[in-house]
Amino acid sequence: MGCSSSLPDFLPYNIRDCIHDRGVANSTGGLGNINNENSATDSKNLKVKLVLLGDSGVGKSCIVLRFVRGQFDPTSKVTIGASFLSQTLALEDSTTVKFEIWDTAGQERGAGAAIVVYDITSAESFNKAQYWVKELQRHGSQDMIMALVGNKADLHEKRTVSSQEAQEHADMNNMFFVETSAKTADNINQLFEVCIKILDYSKQFAFARRELVTNVTKTLDLPKLYSGVYPELGHVHG
């Protein structure tokens, strides 16, 4: 499956601008929490662990099946225990990224991305999604990419959760938000493509930040600076 260089319309403008400014649309494959699949010399084959969380019946398994197999099965059973599937995206520079997708709670450790799903026709599922967001913030890695996904967008006439309310919650928690339909495939592939692009941008940003800190520490006398401005910190850096 190929990864398009164009960014979906649902992506917030501030993130879209950052991705374009950094050239992440033509990704080099350097992705946060992504490991080489085979060896250090096989840098073009990468993998990322991704988890889906949310209340039962919101369509997590349907989203995964639509993405991995291009299928929709409305009779699919509620996932019991661990459920694992994989899918590979090909980036424009010939790098391949293999998603290891876990459709179950308890697999957050080591995940590079998490997708929290709710049903737009169920306010209760949206409340549960907010719980999962808090759990990820407590137990997930600091650089984990999180997406808030309102599924069953094809049932918009039965909507009980407004897109504005969901967007506001996503903004407050540094997530990106999108509404999907596993039934019609609307925004399914784009959801996973954006996860890859934001992961890549996040790594580039972190690298630039580390470079900046390194350069600053080389040019400033930090013990003297901290002692003068924050005397109580002088002993820490002195």
| pLDDT for the residue numbered 118 | 98
Using DSSP bridges, classify how beta strands 34-36 and 45-54 pair: parallel, antiparallel or unpaired.
antiparallel
What's the pLDDT score for residue 46? 75
**Distance, CA of 45 to CA of 78 (rounded, Å):** 32
pLDDT at 162 > cutoff 80: yes
Torsion of the alpha carbons at 47, 193, 54 and 178, rounded to the nearest 10: 160
The helix (H) or strand (E) run that includes residue 47 is strand 45-54
13-204 homologous superfamily = P-loop containing nucleotide triphosphate hydrolases (3.40.50.300)
Q: What's the pLDDT tens digit per position in 20-48?
A: 443 333 333 334 444 444 333 355 777 88
| Whole-prediction pTM | 0.69
What is the structure's pLDDT at 108? 66
Helix, strand, or coil here: 204? helix
